Amino acid sequence: MNASLPQIEPRPTLLRAMRAQIYDVLPTREGVAYRASLGIDHATIEAACGVVVVAPVQYFPDRSFDFIEDGETGGVLSAIIEVFDADARTIIDLVAWPLGRSDKFARALGRGDGLAIWQVLDPGSYAYSAEKALRVHRTPESWLRARCQGVVILNALTAPRWLSAAPGLLLTEDLDHGREIGRLLHPLFDPSRILAPLAREVA
């Protein structure tokens, strides 16, 4: 992974403005408590998703979101992180989810296809063993709790394009999740290379 500082494209002014709002709310008591509950260190957060902040946001039916403006009331208290492109340094989107409902995550701009896509072709994922399998997480929160090891699908429509490029095994969260990933990647990915944890069941 490139160790240089994250970059942001000059064109998307909306993304630039939303990122500025993120940094305006740092830190908050809720955010500090949430990060502590994840058990993840600041250096890992910075390298994989920039920041983890907590702020009220408004969700829309198209699974996008926006921040609540100053002076407005309402909103859902949510965790927000940045999404890096496949180069592991260019920030292309934001993802938010209500605290306690990380399965309800939404993208700000709809540009981020997945979290940590660069790990798909990382040399560590080449080994054909369950211990070295690329982990696929259901939610951003479970990915954070795993210290950002593995990937998260943010857009199921584009996932076959990049996830099927994994050269080794995929390790899903459970058997149902494995079957879901198998259906998603069919016929581009051999289902015998999709494992479920613990029992190592083939999905």
Q: How many beta carbons lie within 10 A of that of residue 79, not counting itself?
A: 25
Tell me what pLDDT residue 183 has.
Answer: 98
Q: Give the pLDDT confidence score for residue 121 in this predicted structure.
A: 87
Last residue of a domain, one of 95, 112, 129: 112
**83 and 157, same domain (yes or no):** no
Output the pLDDT for position 124. Answer: 67
Per-residue pLDDT of 3-14, as tens digits, reads 555 655 545 589
The domain total for the chain is: 2
pLDDT at 185 over 90: yes
User: Could you tell me if 113 and 155 are in contact, meaning their C-beta atoms sit under 8 angstroms apart?
Assistant: yes
Share of the chain above pLDDT 90, in %: 75
Mean pLDDT on 92-113: 97
**Residue 127 banded pLDDT, cuts 50, 70, 90:** low
95 and 162 housed in the same domain: no
Per-residue pLDDT of 11-57, as tens digits, reads 558 999 999 999 888 888 999 999 999 999 999 999 999 999 999 99
Q: Are residues 11 and 78 in the same domain?
A: yes
Please identify, among 63, 97, 112, the residue that sits at the C-terminal boundary of a domain.
112
CA distance 82 to 133: 25
Question: Is the pLDDT assigned to residue 60 strictly greater than 70?
Answer: yes
Regarding whether 131 and 100 lie in a shared domain, the answer is no
What does residue 78 show for φ and ψ, rounded to 5 degrees?
A: -140, 155
pLDDT at position 79, please? 97
Mean pLDDT of the chain: 89
| Same domain, residue pair 182 and 128 | yes
Residues 61 and 77 in one domain: yes
Strand (E) or helix (H) holding 149 = none
Q: Please, are residues 59 and 80 in contact by the beta-carbon 8 Å criterion?
A: no
Range of the domain at 95: 7-112
Q: Between 2 and 76, name the one with better pLDDT.
A: 76
**Residue 1: pLDDT band by 50, 70, 90 thresholds?**
very low
Across residues 58-65, what is the average pLDDT?
A: 96
Indicate the helix (H) or strand (E) that contains 177. helix 175-185
Query: Is 2 domain-assigned?
Result: no
- Give residue-wise pLDDT tens across range 62-77: 999 999 876 677 899 9
pLDDT of residue 194 exceeding 90, the answer is yes
CA atoms of 185 and 159, how far apart (whole Å) = 8
Residue 107 sits in the same domain as residue 122: no
